[in-house]
Amino acid sequence: MNYFSRQAMMLNNNYQSISLNISLLVFVFFWGLVMVEIVPQCVWRINVDIPEEANQNLSFGATERWWEQTDLTKLIISNNKLQSLTDDLRLLPALTFLDIHDNQLTSLPSAIRELENLQKLNVSHNKLKILPEEITYLRNLKGLYLQHNELTCIPEGFEQLSSLEDLDLSSNRLTTVPASFSSLSSLVRLNLSSNQLKSLPAEISRMKRLKHLDCNSNLLETIPSELAGMESLELLYLRRNKLHSLPQFPSCRLLKELHVGENQIEILGAEHLKHLNSILVLDLRDNKLKSVPDEITLLQSLERLDLSNNDISSLPYSLGNLHLKFLALEGNPLRTIRREILNKGTQEVLKYLRSKIRDDGPTQSDSVTETAMTLPSESRINVHAITTLKILDYSDKQTTRIPDEVFDAVKSNIITSINFSKNQLCEIPKRIVELKEMVSDVNLSFNKLSFISLELCMLQKLTFLDLRNNFLNSLPEQMESLIRLQMINLSFNRFKILPEVLYRIPTLETVLISNNQVGSVDPQKMKMMENLTTLDLQNNDLLHIPPELGNCVNLRTLLLDGNPFRVPRAAILMKGTAAILEYLRDRIPT
C-alpha cells in the first residue's frame, strides 16, 4: 500500500490533501499549521538529501523509498504567506507542476528558467507586478495561471512560450497586450478579463486554435475586424466594455456563445447575425438596441437570447419560430406584448409571437395600429388571450361588474383559465357557469367578495382557485362538489375558523389561509385529507396547536409562524415541518 503520492509534495494548509499524504504527515502538517512564510530548505533539497524521517523511522519498504527512485515532479505550496521564492528552485528540475497560488509573492526567481519540464504553473492570487523575462524559457509550459496579480505588462519574448494552451491573465492591470503575443499559436484558452485594455491587437486573429477568449470588464471601444477570422473561436466574452457596435464574424462558424452585454451597442443588423450558424447563447443585455432584425430567425441553433434592458419597442414575430429555452425581454419599452404574457415566461412569449405570425403573415412586424387591441382599456377584451392562451382575462380593471361582452367574446373557444383579479367585484359573475366544463383555473383575488356564489361551485374541473385578498369569512358547503380542487388560496380574508367544507375536499393538496383570524383547526378531520401536503396558517389567531396535528404525516410544509400559541416554541418551528410534527406527536396523550 502506498499512502502517499510518490512524486508530489504538498505544503499547503489544506488539511484534506495533507491527510492523503500520510508519510509526509509530520513534515507537512507542521508547516501547514503555521502557514509558511519561507519555504524550508529541506523542501528544495528533497532530491538531494535523504530525509531524516527515513533514518528516524516508519519502516519503509523498498518500493516506498520514493525519494530514492524519482525526483519530485509536483510541488504545491499554495495558500501560505510566501513573499518570495529563492533560486534554490533550480534544485527541483524535474518539476512538471508548480502550484504557488494564494501567497504574497511579488516576483518569481530567475531560476525559474531551469524548470525546463514545467507544464503547469499556478501563481494566481499573488502580488506579482512583473514577470521575469526568464519565464519565457519554459518551452514546455502548457498552462500558466496568473490571474489576480498586479501585472501591468507582459515581458518581451513571451510569445516563445510556444506550448502554451491555457493562459489566464484575468484581474491584473494590463493596459495593452503586445502584438507579438499572437504568436502563441497553441493557445486554446485566453482570459484577459478584468484588466484595463483599451484595444486588442489585430494580430490576435493569428491564434488559429483559440477557442475561448474572455475580455469581459475592460475598456474596449472597438474590436479589430480581424477577429472575424478566428475560425476556432467558440466562446467570446466582451461584456462590460465600451463597445458601440457589434463585431461581425464571417469566419467564426463555430462560435457558440457571444456575450456582449453591458456595452453601448445601438444597432443589431442582419450582417451581424448571418454567420452565426452555431450560436447557442447570445447575450445582448444592457445595451441600446432599438430593434431586432427579422434575420434573427436565421439563428436556428440559438437557445438563450438575452435582450433585457435595451430600447426595443417592437419585436419581429418571426422570433417565435426560434427554439429558445430562454428569452429575456424585461426592461424594454415593448408596446405590443403585454406584461402579463411576458411574465409567463419564454414559451408563452414565443407562442404569442407565433400566433401573430399566423394572424399577420410571416414577415410583418408589430405596428402601432395593432397596439390598440392589446393595450388595456375599459371596453376592450383581450381576444388574443382567449384564442391562443385560453384565458378569459378581465383583470386589473377596477370594475364592479364584468361586462357581458367579456363572456360573449368566448364564442366557441375553449377557455381553461379565468382571471378577474384586481377588480371591485362584490359578487362572482353568474355567467361564469357557462364555462363550467372547461375551466380549471380561476383567479378572483383582490376583489371585494364576501361570499362565494353557487355558480363557482359548479365548475367541475376547477383545480386552482385564488381567492386571496377578499372579505370572505365562510365558504359554502356546495364547494364539496369541486372534486378536482387541488389548491386554494384564501390568504388575507376574514376567516375565523378553517372552513369545514375544506376537510371534505380530499383532492386538496395546498391550503393557504395565512393572514386571517383562524383560531382553531380540527386535527382529526385534517388527517382525512390524505393528499394535503401544504398548509399555511401563518399570521392567524391560533392559541393552541393540537398535538394530534402531528398525525398528519403527509404534510410537507406546515407554516405556523405569527400565531399567539406558546408551544411549539420558535426554536422548534425553525427546524421545519418534520420536526414540528414529530414534536407534536411526542405530546399526544396516550
* Residue 414 CB neighbours (<10 A): 12
Is residue 259 involved in binding ligand NAG (CB under 6 A)? no
Overall size of the chain counted in residues: 590
CA terminus-to-terminus distance, the chain:
58
The alpha carbon of 453 is separated from its chain's Cα centroid by a whole number of angstroms, namely 44
Residue from 83, 110, 507, 520 in contact with ligand NAG (CB under 6 A): 507
Q: How far apart are CA 147 and CA 144, in angstroms?
A: 9
Q: How far apart are CA 536 and CA 533, in angstroms?
A: 10
How does DSSP assign 437-476, residue by residue? TT--EEE--SS--SS--HHHHT-TT--EEE--SS------
Q: How far apart are CA 14 and CA 2, in angstroms?
A: 21
Is residue 44 involved in binding ligand NAG (CB under 6 A)? no
238: nearest Cα among 184, 286, 178: 286
Considering the complex, what minimum distance in angstroms separates the CB of residue 171 from ligand NAG? 5
Q: How far apart are CA 223 and CA 246, in angstroms?
A: 8
Alpha helix locations (H) across 35-171? 41-44, 52-56, 66-69
Q: How far apart are CA 269 and CA 278, in angstroms?
A: 18
Q: How far apart are CA 101 and CA 147, in angstroms?
A: 9
Is residue 523 involved in binding ligand NAG (CB under 6 A)? no
Is residue 491 involved in binding ligand NAG (CB under 6 A)? yes
* Comparison of 57 and 398: residue with beta carbon closer to ligand NAG: 57
Considering the complex, what minimum distance in angstroms separates the CB of residue 440 from ligand NAG? 11
Size of the site for ligand NAG (CB under 6 A): 39
* Comparison of 171 and 577: residue with beta carbon closer to ligand NAG: 171
Considering the complex, what minimum distance in angstroms separates the CB of residue 526 from ligand NAG? 14
Residue from 67, 158, 181, 446 in contact with ligand NAG (CB under 6 A): 446
Considering the complex, what minimum distance in angstroms separates the CB of residue 57 from ligand NAG? 4
* Comparison of 39 and 192: residue with beta carbon closer to ligand NAG: 192
Q: How far apart are CA 545 and CA 521, in angstroms?
A: 8
List the Cα angle 94/96/100 in 5-degree steps: 110
What part of residues 128-187 is at the interface with ligand NAG (CB under 6 A)? Answer: 143, 145, 147, 170-171
Is residue 102 involved in binding ligand NAG (CB under 6 A)? yes
Q: How far apart are CA 260 and CA 285, in angstroms?
A: 8
Residue from 13, 73, 96, 122 in contact with ligand NAG (CB under 6 A): 122
What part of residues 195-214 is at the interface with ligand NAG (CB under 6 A)? Answer: 212, 214
Considering the complex, what minimum distance in angstroms separates the CB of residue 276 from ligand NAG? 19
> Near ligand NAG by CB under 6 A, which window of 149-157, 350-358, 413-421, 447-455?
413-421
Containing 373, the helix (H) or strand (E) segment is: helix 368-374
Is residue 554 involved in binding ligand NAG (CB under 6 A)? no
According to DSSP, residue 75 is labeled: E
Is residue 119 involved in binding ligand NAG (CB under 6 A)? no
> Near ligand NAG by CB under 6 A, which window of 29-37, 300-308, 362-370, 414-422?
414-422
What part of residues 367-396 is at the interface with ligand NAG (CB under 6 A)? Answer: 395-396
* Comparison of 322 and 508: residue with beta carbon closer to ligand NAG: 508
Residues 6+ apart with CB under 8 A from 318: 294, 296, 297, 353, 357, 362, 363
Considering the complex, what minimum distance in angstroms separates the CB of residue 4 from ligand NAG? 17
Q: How far apart are CA 468 and CA 418, in angstroms?
A: 15
Residue from 468, 495, 555, 583 in contact with ligand NAG (CB under 6 A): 468
Which string of x and - marks every residue 304-343 that binds ligand NAG (by CB under 6 A)? Answer: ------------------------------------x--x
> Near ligand NAG by CB under 6 A, which window of 24-32, 301-309, 438-446, 562-570?
438-446
> Near ligand NAG by CB under 6 A, which window of 120-128, 175-183, 310-318, 429-437?
120-128
* Comparison of 245 and 533: residue with beta carbon closer to ligand NAG: 533
Considering the complex, what minimum distance in angstroms separates the CB of residue 118 from ligand NAG? 13
Q: How far apart are CA 227 and CA 217, in angstroms?
A: 18
Residues 6+ apart with CB under 8 A from 510: 486, 487, 488, 532, 533, 534, 535
Residue from 466, 518, 540, 584 in contact with ligand NAG (CB under 6 A): 466
Q: How far apart are CA 489 and CA 331, in angstroms?
A: 30
Q: How far apart are CA 97 and CA 178, in angstroms?
A: 27
Is residue 443 involved in binding ligand NAG (CB under 6 A)? yes
CA-to-CA dists, residue 248 to 242, 245, 390, 565, angstroms: 16, 9, 42, 67
* Comparison of 97 and 565: residue with beta carbon closer to ligand NAG: 97
> Near ligand NAG by CB under 6 A, which window of 66-74, 199-207, 243-251, 461-469?
461-469
Is residue 101 involved in binding ligand NAG (CB under 6 A)? yes
What part of residues 263-302 is at the interface with ligand NAG (CB under 6 A)? Answer: none
Binding region for ligand NAG (CB under 6 A): 57, 59, 101-102, 122, 124-125, 143, 145, 147, 170-171, 191, 193, 212, 214, 340, 343, 395-396, 417, 419, 421-422, 443, 445-446, 464, 466, 468-469, 489, 491-492, 506-507, 512, 530-531
